Amino acid sequence: MLSNITEEQIDQLTLRLIQGAWTLFKWVTLQCFILFLVPFTWSFLPSEMPLYVISYTFIFNVYWVTTPKDKRLDFIWKPYVWYVIISVILCFALLDSFSLFGIVLAPLFGLLCFIMVRRYKHFLKTHAVTFARRMTIIIASTVLIMAIVVALRAWNVSIKCKGHGSFKTEKNEILQRRDYLASKLITSPQKVLHEMPSGIGEQFQGEWALYSCSMFAMSLYNISRIYPETKTENAHYIDSLISIVLSPELRKYDSKRWKEDALTTLDSYETSHISYISHLAWMIGEYKTMGGSDKYDKLYDQLCNAMNGRILHSPDLNLQTYPDEPIYIPDMLVAIVGLKQYSALNKGKYSSTVDAWVDHARKKWLDPKTGLLVSFLDVDGRQFSDAPIKGSYSALNCSYLTLIDRKFAQEQYLQLKKHFWKNGVLSGMKEYYDASPILSLDVDAGPVIMGLSPSGTAFSTGAATFFEDNEVRDKILRTSEIAGYTLTWDNTKHYALANLALVGEAIMLAMRTNAPE
């Protein structure tokens, strides 16, 4: 049958496919643009709305192209039924939940956009009789629409940032963000892993799940210090998070890389697992500091003994996160944070290891150009000659150092601001101190736009909060609101981007609550 298709028919089919793809792209882009920029829109719509937009736009676009003009309205119910069925299936497959109310009503938004565009085209056809007049109307209307949207967006951002500046005025927002993360992470290990994007692969899903739990635990610990009346509830949450991190499902990613289980090799100094065991130890330390029970005491002792022994038996006090990879300084800093906390709870035990590591860092691991801690070391603890100093790593290093050595942390924070801070409508930390690409994708920082590092900006909030640098902190929170867009739903708050990367929400809450003791 395919042999009977002529070249002309193939060309026509190809052209229709290209036209259909372009039409789909235009309509999806327009609707998402309106959703993102119009104030409060996302707060009243389900978080799955972008999926619904893509689904109904694609299905109705296919129907419109394949159905004769005189029959389109007669069978308009068919694509709607297909859209509802496909959307429910997609939500269960990708999101593990759905809003039937949102699915049923979402196409009304598309219909509204369609009517607006049709009326605009009719206006152009009626009044733009010459090319010059047509272009004038298009440009003027575009400028007017953009001005209105920008003004509304600026108003929306100013309202949402109005309460920033003190923990007293931010209390409701912080607790609402805590409650959102609790609804996502205080669950089964399988569901926590399912909250991580499937497209990043099993290893990164495991890492992101670990970091999400660890950063949320840090948030809960910080919130308990700021708002003591929340301590009991927060300690219960951390207990649940520890249980999740202890599960075989979550530590599977680390076991696969090391070809052994981190918890069955704690008596050995000839291995590492430093990232997994340090985050776990840190979480238990927070639980103990908040007055938690002694249920994890034996494991806590084993974890910190293993970390301390492995660090002392390693080349130059550093351990690999994974075999055949370099040493990542931020991962080592988590271990030092864990030992520092254990030392405070156990009469200074292991404090000499903490002091020795910090002394080595000051003397041997500072970048000569920026004065900042390097991001990577080779397996023997030596600096790479060509390794970049990255804003994402340096900002995270600064925030971890606030929990270890205040003076060293402040020195690093001043250097970080000197080399990486960028003021503007969107203020934040750059990813590269010597370059500001308009748009690039970095494996550590995410999408780098106008040189700004999403990860670096979020991580630097921890140091800004700790050193009470309110000017920088407020600017970062404003940038986060502009780029992230806070959604309010069922008395919880979260950035819209949390639907794509929950770990970012956990990191931001941990950093913005990193108040000094």
* pLDDT tens figures, 204-238: 999 999 999 999 999 999 999 999 999 999 999 99
- Regarding whether 122 and 204 lie in a shared domain, the answer is no
Using one digit for the tens of pLDDT, what is the confidence trace for 11-29? Answer: 777 777 787 788 888 888 8
Q: Does the residue 138 lie in any domain?
A: no
Please give the span between the terminal C-alpha atoms of the chain, in angstroms, as a whole number: 76
**Which of 340, 390, 387, 332 is CA-nearest to residue 361?**
332
pLDDT of residue 3: 53
pLDDT of residue 1: 45
pLDDT of residue 40: 53
Q: Averaged over 387-395, what is the pLDDT?
A: 92
Q: Does the residue 152 lie in any domain?
A: no
- Regarding whether 89 and 208 lie in a shared domain, the answer is no
Is the CB of residue 237 less than 8 Å from the CB of residue 182?
A: yes
CA distance linking residue 253 with residue 447, whole number of Å = 25
Q: Which residue's entry shows tokens 């209105």?
A: 148
Q: Does the residue 185 lie in any domain?
A: yes
CA distance linking residue 179 with residue 175, whole number of Å = 6
Distant-in-sequence, close-in-space partners of 42: CB < 8 Å, separation ≥ 6: 35, 36, 49, 485, 487, 496
- Regarding whether 228 and 314 lie in a shared domain, the answer is yes
Q: Averaged over 418-422, what is the pLDDT?
A: 96
pLDDT of residue 126: 77
Q: Averaged over 425-449, what is the pLDDT?
A: 83
Q: Does the residue 195 lie in any domain?
A: yes
pLDDT band at 440 (very low <50, low <70, confident <90, very high): confident
CA distance linking residue 231 with residue 56, whole number of Å = 46
Least confident segment among 8-12, 35-39, 249-253, 254-258: 35-39
- Regarding whether 465 and 399 lie in a shared domain, the answer is yes
- Regarding whether 198 and 104 lie in a shared domain, the answer is no
pLDDT band at 443 (very low <50, low <70, confident <90, very high): low
Q: Averaged over 435-456, what is the pLDDT?
A: 82
Q: Averaged over 387-410, what is the pLDDT?
A: 96
State whether residue 366 is helix, strand or coil: strand
CA distance linking residue 289 with residue 225, whole number of Å = 11
- Regarding whether 177 and 73 lie in a shared domain, the answer is no
pLDDT of residue 125: 77
CA distance linking residue 297 with residue 97, whole number of Å = 38
Question: CB count, 10 Å around CB of 318?
Answer: 26
pLDDT of residue 154: 76
The structure's pTM equals 0.80
Q: Does the residue 452 lie in any domain?
A: yes
Distant-in-sequence, close-in-space partners of 271: CB < 8 Å, separation ≥ 6: 258, 260, 265, 310
Least confident segment among 57-71, 179-193, 360-374: 57-71
Q: Averaged over 357-381, what is the pLDDT?
A: 95
Q: Averaged over 431-457, what is the pLDDT?
A: 83
Distant-in-sequence, close-in-space partners of 235: CB < 8 Å, separation ≥ 6: 220, 224, 287, 290, 291, 292
Number of domains in the chain: 2
Least confident segment among 2-16, 146-160, 320-334: 2-16
pLDDT of residue 129: 62
- Regarding whether 251 and 354 lie in a shared domain, the answer is yes
Is the CB of residue 106 less than 8 Å from the CB of residue 97?
A: no
In terms of residues, how long is the chain?
517
Q: Averaged over 171-196, what is the pLDDT?
A: 97
pLDDT band at 303 (very low <50, low <70, confident <90, very high): very high
- Regarding whether 338 and 214 lie in a shared domain, the answer is yes
**Which of 179, 166, 242, 102 is CA-nearest to residue 493?**
179
- Regarding whether 176 and 82 lie in a shared domain, the answer is no
59 versus 43: the higher-pLDDT residue is 59
414 versus 2: the higher-pLDDT residue is 414
* 376-380 own/partner pairs: CB under 8 Å, 24+ apart: 376/326, 376/327, 376/328, 376/329, 377/316, 377/318, 377/326, 377/327, 377/329, 378/326, 378/327, 379/315, 379/320, 379/326, 379/327, 380/315, 380/316
440 versus 2: the higher-pLDDT residue is 440
pLDDT of residue 197: 87
Residue 57 has pLDDT above 60, yes or no: yes
Q: Which two tokens stand for residue 225?
A: 């210090």
Identity of the amino acid at 182: A
pLDDT band at 41 (very low <50, low <70, confident <90, very high): low
Share of the chain above pLDDT 90, in %: 58
Q: Does the residue 147 lie in any domain?
A: no
Q: Does the residue 313 lie in any domain?
A: yes
Distant-in-sequence, close-in-space partners of 317: CB < 8 Å, separation ≥ 6: 311, 353, 356, 357, 360, 381
Give 164's Cβ-side CA count (13 Å radius).
23
Question: CB count, 10 Å around CB of 209?
Answer: 26
Phi-psi category of residue 21: left, alpha or beta, with phi > 0 → left and psi -120 to 50 → alpha: alpha
Last residue of a domain, one of 98, 127, 156: 127
pLDDT of residue 2: 46
- Regarding whether 455 and 366 lie in a shared domain, the answer is yes
Q: Does the residue 140 lie in any domain?
A: no
Is the CB of residue 45 less than 8 Å from the CB of residue 102?
A: yes
Least confident segment among 3-7, 181-185, 369-373: 3-7
CATH number of the domain at 197, please: 1.50.10.20
- Regarding whether 328 and 410 lie in a shared domain, the answer is yes
9 versus 308: the higher-pLDDT residue is 308
Mean pLDDT across the chain: 89
94 versus 74: the higher-pLDDT residue is 74
Q: Averaged over 413-417, what is the pLDDT?
A: 98
Last residue of a domain, one of 94, 127, 160: 127
User: Which of 33-47, 402-416, 425-439 is most confident?
Assistant: 402-416
Q: Averaged over 245-261, what is the pLDDT?
A: 97
- Regarding whether 190 and 121 lie in a shared domain, the answer is no
Residue 177 has pLDDT above 70, yes or no: yes
pLDDT of residue 319: 97
Domain range holding 117?
A: 2-127
Using one digit for the tens of pLDDT, what is the confidence trace for 122-161? Answer: 777 777 667 777 777 778 777 777 777 677 777 778 888 8
